[in-house]
Amino acid sequence: MAPVKVTMEVGTDGVAVIAIFNPPVNALAIPIIAGLKEKWTEATMRNDVKAIVLTGNGGRFSGGFDINVFQKVHANGDTSQMPDVSVDLVVNTMEDGKKPAVAAIEGLALGGGLELALGCHARIAAPRAQLGLPELSLGVMPGFGGTQRLPRLIGLSKAVELMMTSKPIMSEEGKKLGLIDAIVPSSELLKVSRQWAIDIAEGRKPWMCSLHKTDKIGSLSEAHEILKVAREQVKQTAKNMPQHLACIEVIEEGIIHGGYNGVLKEAKVFKDLVLSDTSKGLVHIFFSQRATSKVPNVTDIGLKPRTVKKVAVIGGGLMGSGIATTLALSNTIVILKEINSEFLQKGMKAIEETYEDVSYITANVSGLVARKKLPQDKADKALSMVKGALDYSDFKDVDMVIEAVVENVPLKQKIFSEIEKVCPPHCILATNTSTIDLNIIGENTTSKDRIIGAHFFSPAHIMPLLEIVRTEKTSAQAILDLMAVGKAIKKVPVVVGNCTGFAVNRTFFPYSQGAHILVNLGVDVFRIDTQIASFGLPMGPFQLQDLTGYGVAVAVGKEFRSAFSDRTFISPLIDLLIKSGRNGNVASLYPLCCCFTVLLFTIDSGFAGKNNGKGYYIYEKGSKPRPDFTVLPIIEESRRLANIMPGGKPISVTDQEIVEMILFPVVNEACRVLDEGIVVRASDLDVTSVLGMSFPSYRGGIVFWADTVGAGHIYRSLKKWSELYGNFFKPSRFLEERATKGIPLSAPSSTSSVSRSRM
């Protein structure tokens, strides 16, 4: 590995070029920060140095502070490990130093990297360099003075927007805003930066300290109004997350009491936020997502992924067209096969245009162009990559087939028997099934080493998760190839084992069942939804069920009741709703709940579009859903039929107990998934729960959250409820063992059998 270091070279022009070496993104590790202080001090003291240029090695300025330090602080709670960068380095050594400094920015300057550049007296950038302060996405906020300097350079409103959204901008926009002083070709970056630094030193260009600028802040009343609006917005968009409001308060401190006081408050609040549960959860997800790329006996045995140039997608429905879109946008040749011309035409149109035949509207290629997310020329190229087909004649040279038809076992078995015969021997045979055991799908084939699950989440061209399902016979090469495809199409591939529902749907199947048990125990349906939404999921289970249609719930129930009959609850409510003429409502579905289990069944099973708009809620265009109280007599009839209320009377539960009675059974099933080795590591379930099920990322994922709550409390609660309400709540052996021994649920198992995800 290349050494982590900071170098300094002094030219004959009197400019000291200080460079950061810490590949791949020149993260500001503690040795780097110490090295910067040392070299800057040396440059300041040397008589042959007139000015300083700060840059990064390898075409990247800096990706920001080393997040590994956060992990160490989270482990021991000791914030003294966090170096004093803001005051000691950026203010005292750099900005208030005796010699001017220019930041020469190429590639990226993010987080602490950009904050170092803000502490310089000018910033020169190469074209298309990324600039941003994404710290809020990790549960903290800019901690090296960014909350104070950015508003003074680009104006308060835009600075607040960049920090609240954590989205980067390009150097071209930075130039327009005043963040960047000049944009020059990469080949001239150092030359221009050196001259700019000399010009400052010799008085030809202004020596500007951004912390002391006030001209772009505006009046105090204007600032108060901007921050008031920002507070109201984040209360709606960033519930349960303290860092956004904390950041606004720190910005306000600097506006009222001056930039330096703002820097001092920033440093204190930053350390407080590092220790918050939110930061712990978000940092955990950050590292967990990166860990998914390491799969034992796949990525560590010397194999290299093969090139996948051409993919056939069978089925042009919502899932199939979405998968085809994703592949085409990554410059992969796609063959989209359907059973007749009408369906094929619809599938091709869906790739190009908006889904107009369903009332939740999502767009593929044309929608991306309309929202300026995709240039027209790239859209045209993507569309040219897709060819329609009604037979297998174009399958003779495909590298992969992805079957995306309805969840019908005989149909899938027939397709796999056919494609095995017509595809080349190296071709990967993948299915997008969300639930069906892969061994059943491929039982009539002989090429079982090539059969694999490629479970996309709907809408496939937007949702980031790709669940890669392996059987005991799937080859490591096929897994590695599909992982590479997943990364190429900008998905997060997670390798899991084969079982009913796989990792994601299997873990979350108790979610809606727990909600139905609560309703039949007498708890108000709308109160349940409110509490789950307050916890951080996009919506409650009943609104979700409403929006996907009740046929979905029937399909879900059958699948999991067959596989896990010992712990399923059969609620009379769904059948009663259907008999009363209520089928649910698809309107407004996207994007709030596109990631939940039931939606997967909507797409895969062909239920979407069959609903009539009647459910638990009233849906009117342009307004939020309102409870439909005419559903209450139906709920009362369900309670009478279920007959599980103790003594025939509704139970009394707190808001916290509502959340726990719905989510603790999910944790319990996650324990079974861990015990059976369906995932490589517990953190993989955290990633899939966040990216596939919209479990709040700031809670760190389902297993991380469970460890925060404590296995003991979860076990005792489930045991109590199982004695009161039945086997649905019965604690798993894994949970009981961990709770009894005081072992975190996320701790690796030393006694479990070989992981199905590692075979």
In this structure, what is the dihedral angle of CA atoms 326, 329, 332, 337, given to the nearest 10 degrees? Answer: 50
Is residue 66 within 8 A of residue 287, CB to CB? The reply is no
Instruction: Select which of 95, 106, 135, 338 is catalytic.
Output: 135
**How far apart, in Å, do the first and last CA atoms of the chain sit?**
31
Question: Within 13 Å and on the Cβ side, how many CA atoms surround 95?
Answer: 25
107: left (phi over 0), alpha (psi -120 to 50) or beta: left
Contact 655, 531 (CB under 8 A): yes
* Euclidean distance between CA atoms 191 and 641, whole angstroms: 81
562-589 core/surface letters (b: 16 or more CB in 10 A; e: else): eebeebbbebbbbebbbeeebbbbbbbb
Contact 280, 299 (CB under 8 A): no
Stretch (H or E) spanning 291: helix 277-291
CB 417 within 8 A of CB 444: yes
Report the C-alpha gap between 503 and 496 in whole angstroms.
Answer: 6
Q: Is the dihedral of CA 441, 447, 453, 458 positive or negative?
A: negative
CA angle 481, 482, 484 (to 5 degrees): 65
Instruction: Exactly one of 115, 253, 407, 559 is catalytic; name it.
Output: 115
Give phi and psi for 63, each to the nearest 5.
-85, 0
Give catalytic status of residue 172 as yes or no: no
- Say how far apart CA 39 and CA 37 lie, in whole Å: 6
Sign of CA dihedral 90, 94, 100, 104: negative
**What is the C-alpha to C-alpha distance for residues 248 and 244, in angstroms, rounded to an integer?**
6
What DSSP letter does each residue of 489-510 carry, written as one string? TT-EEEEE--STTTTHHHHHTH
Report in angstroms the alpha-carbon separations of 536 from 163, 241, 351, 706: 21, 10, 32, 15
CA distance 742 to 223: 51
Measured at the CA of 263, the angle between CA 262 and CA 267, to 5 degrees, comes to 115
Looking at the DSSP assignment, which residues form a beta bridge with residue 314? 337, 403
Asked if residue 349 lies in contact with residue 316, where contact means CB atoms within 8 angstroms, the answer is: no
Phi, psi (rounded to 5 degrees) for 169: -120, 165
The residue whose two tokens read 């309309």 is 370
Q: Is 161 a catalytic residue?
A: no
Task: Give the residue numbers annotated as catalytic, written as ranges.
Answer: 115, 135
